[in-house]
Amino acid sequence: MQATTHTMPHVGVHEAHHEEIGFWRKYIFSTDHKMIGIQYGFTALCFLLFGFCLMLCMRWQIAHPGQAIPLVGPLLNTLLGDVAAKGVMSPDLYNSFGAMHGTIMVFLAIVPLAFAAFGNYVVPLMIGAPDMAFPRVNMASYQAYVLGGIIMFVSFFIPGGAAQAGWTSYSPLATSIPTDGQTFWIIGMVCLITSSLLGAVNFIATIIQLRAPGMTWMRLPFFVWAQFVTGFLLLLAFPPLEAAAVMQLMDKVAHTSFFLPTGLAVGGPLANVSGGGSPLLWQHLFWFLGHPEVYVLILPAMGIVCEIIANNTRKPIWGYTSLVYSVLTIGFLSFIVWAHHMYLTGMGTKVATFFQTTTMIISIPSVIILTCLFLSLWGASIRFNTPMLFALAFLPMFGIGGLTGLPLGFNVSDLHLHDTYYVIAHFHYIVAPGTIFALFAGVYYWFPKMTGRMMNAFWGKVHFWGSLIFMNAVFQPMFAQGMAGMIRRMADGGANYSAAKVPGAIGGLSDKIMGMHTMILWGAVGLALVQIPFIINVFWSIRNGAKASSDNPWGATTLEWQTPTPPPHGNFAHAPEVHRGPYEYSVPGHATDFTPQNEPEKSAQR
């Protein structure tokens, strides 16, 4: 399939007539994809830090229930009132922090950083486009995202506090809590979903319509393929949840009963609702988005890792075609596995068998992608720079997350592991040392293109090794806790069900299992401390980092490295033309060990 090229001849004209614009148009209401990517990245990193701080407070409460939180306890009391009286986190505040931690990390931090920030900045450059297909829609997407984030943040300070029904917002619990936090959560989610839909349409149109001459489908970098499939996942999976959110909002404020059953009792007496709704309908609509959302988190991360591994092994990525077809297969299968989150709802054995089967099948293309990346390391001359360290760590960390998910795919084992700490460990190995490591790799890798300066390598490696050690210290013990029967979402970490609290209780948690909470807490504190070098490194390097040796300091082949640094408005001084695939490294007879995609064939043969 040939690339559409009708827009590319206007690149030079577009740049020639570009005029200087003011601060507000350039930095706040920008329609330039690069600035919007930076806006998304900075905002998402701020929310990532905020969500991490919520987790630290929760881990203190779990390890030391009933004790004041050091340093920030008095501040929480001042800001939030009685729910943090004397600096002690109440169960209601724990529920709020738990619900908002999950919501912020998934919808306000990792997805915007992986899909919107890196996608906005890098994808148009990689395909040789002057900008996104719909620049103003792109700006509107970011503004809707910020609006949703503000609504979520403000909900902490309203009477009754933020949402308390978990990041999944299950009905009828979400509708029955007599505070406005859940209403703010739903409105914020509608804004965030709208943002994602606008972005998804824009990415799909851009990749289809604005590829440079010669950029055929099988010459696209794998990162672009990952973003392309992710765009379709968002476009198809988010509308059902947006419709469900509106219906749940009506249940909350207009007293409808889309998800409220007949005979619902709240605190003893029957609730004054019309009834007739289905709580399971909400779960189906939520998880129809919820499982594709896992791949929205992981596919851009896989794309980033693929680019970095190809660049730092100095050889073509192994099995490029297999990678492409695997990511397309994942995109299709991700829509027919959602009900493995719902085995405990009492589904029949035939339905459970179907979803067990599709869950096992979807692991196959994921294993193919991981295998291709591992085989790409074989016989390579590997450069162990900071981006590569994070990319290499992604492989086993994602592997652990994937393998530990297999028992959750079978209903016979999921009945015992569901809603335990095992699930927390499994999911976080996918998202934290998995996706977040890939995002750190992307920051270190593309930082020179964005700023013209390199990040400090020494502090980058301190950040990597500290993060790797403490990430595992936090999440590895949770597997043991979950298999011992420790239930998640308990403000005291299960202390009321421990053997020490109830001597002789069947299934009572041992002192050893309960003691792991303290280890996890200090692992989380260590993880927080090793992020300080990263934060300082980013801001220090913007102005004081070593200048990049060239526009292509990593010696890469893809088009984003063939632009001036930082790329100007319109991106390319001359319209690029693509002559080869994305990973032409160490080609025999070539003067250098990399052959850029836009280098003419005759020049490459000299």
Peptide bond before 91: cis, by omega within 30 degrees of 0?
no
Q: Tokens 């339905």 correspond to what residue?
A: 351
In a domain, 270, yes or no: no
Q: Which amino acid is at 430?
A: I
Query: What residues form DSSP beta bridges with 509?
Result: 498
> Burial code of 292-318, b = ≥16 C-beta within 10 A, e = fewer?
bbbbbbbbbbbbbbbbbbbbbbebbbb
Q: Tokens 């189906």 correspond to what residue?
A: 284
In a domain, 150, yes or no: yes
pLDDT value for 606: 52
In a domain, 465, yes or no: yes
- Rounded average pLDDT per 10-residue block, the chain, 606 residues: 43 48 83 95 96 96 93 93 92 95 96 96 96 96 97 94 93 91 96 97 97 96 97 95 96 93 86 89 94 93 97 95 97 94 90 94 96 95 96 96 94 92 96 95 97 96 97 96 92 83 75 93 97 96 94 95 91 90 92 91 61
SS3 state of residue 423: helix
- Per the structure, the complete domain to which residue 380 belongs is given by 8-261+275-605
In a domain, 3, yes or no: no
- Sequential DSSP letters for 466-493: HHHHHHHHHHHHHHHHHHTTPBSS-TTT
Q: Return the biggest CA–CA distance within the chain.
A: 84
Q: Where are the beta strands (DSSP E) in 168-250?
A: none
Instruction: Give the CATH number, domain containing residue 202.
Output: 1.20.210.10
The number of distinct structural domains making up the chain is 1
The two three-digit tokens of residue 545, written as one number: 């980092």
Prediction pTM value: 0.93
pLDDT value for 605: 54
The two three-digit tokens of residue 513, written as one number: 């299992």
Residues 357-412 pLDDT 10s: 999 999 999 999 999 999 999 989 999 999 999 999 999 999 999 999 999 999 99
pLDDT value for 7: 42
Percent helix, strand and coil across the chain, each to the nearest 5: 65, 0, 30
Q: What backbone torsions phi and psi does residue 459 show, to the nearest 5 degrees?
A: -70, -25
The helix or strand, by DSSP H or E, that contains position 237, with its residue range, turns out to be helix 222-253
- For 589, counting Cβ atoms within 10 Å of its Cβ (0-12 exposed, 13-18 middle, 19+ buried), the class is exposed
In a domain, 305, yes or no: yes
pLDDT value for 604: 52
The helix or strand, by DSSP H or E, that contains position 323, with its residue range, turns out to be helix 320-333
In a domain, 331, yes or no: yes
Dihedral sign (CA 556, 559, 564, 566): negative
Chain centroid to CA 244: 22
In a domain, 1, yes or no: no
In a domain, 267, yes or no: no
Residues 159-168 pLDDT 10s: 999 999 999 9
